[in-house]
Amino acid sequence: MRCFLICISFILFSFDFLGSDQTFIQIKAKETANHTTPFYVLVKPTSFAQFLQDDYHKIVEEKLTDDSKFLQVACIIPGDTKLIQFKTPEKESVAVYCIFTTPGRDWKYFIDAEGPRKVKILIGEDEIQSASRF
């Protein structure tokens, strides 16, 4: 089943017929991600200026008090790959926030409105190890 889900996610990433208002984020978490404990990935619309100011504790507080601000909230299990798909206005930037138990330096990622709306993110132990857009 897991192999089937991974294959489906790659097929979705391969086609452009789904429309420009769709954003796809494929998250692959290493077995050691978050010290082998599940963690949240949050996605919300934001400007680059706001993204730079976003503090880890502020984002966690937002999630706990009013998660309606988020376009997506996903629980990630270490060792798994998950595809997050959602609609966004064509010119709207979004941020991806990884809520780790002890976050490293790279716990968030910005997706500019002007670039491709397909992103692959590899999660290391306590931070985003790599991200690529295509």
- pTM score above 0.95: no
| pLDDT surpassing 70 at residue 8 | no
**Is residue 71 included in any domain, yes or no?**
yes
**Is residue 14 included in any domain, yes or no?**
no
Q: Any idea which residue has 């780790």 for tokens? A: 100
Q: Domains in the chain: how many in total?
A: 1
At 4, is the secondary structure helix, strand, or coil?
helix
| pLDDT surpassing 70 at residue 122 | yes
Is the dihedral angle over the CA atoms 80, 77, 40, 30 positive or is it negative?
negative
Largest CA distance in the chain: 41
| pLDDT surpassing 60 at residue 11 | no
Q: Which domain holds residue 43?
A: 2-7+19-116+124-133
Residues 77-115 have pLDDT tens digits of: 999 999 999 998 778 999 999 999 999 999 999 999 987
Q: How far apart are the first and last CA of the chain?
A: 26
Residues 14-42 have pLDDT tens digits of: 444 444 589 999 999 999 999 999 999 99
Helix (H) or strand (E) holding 110: strand 108-111
Q: What is the mean pLDDT of residues 47-62?
A: 96
**Is residue 79 included in any domain, yes or no?**
yes
Percent helix, strand and coil across the chain, each rounded to 5? 25, 35, 35
Q: What is the pLDDT of residue 42?
A: 98
- β 108-111/128-133 pair status: unpaired
**Is residue 32 included in any domain, yes or no?**
yes
Q: What is the pLDDT of residue 14?
A: 47
**Is residue 13 included in any domain, yes or no?**
no
CATH number for 53: 2.60.40.4150
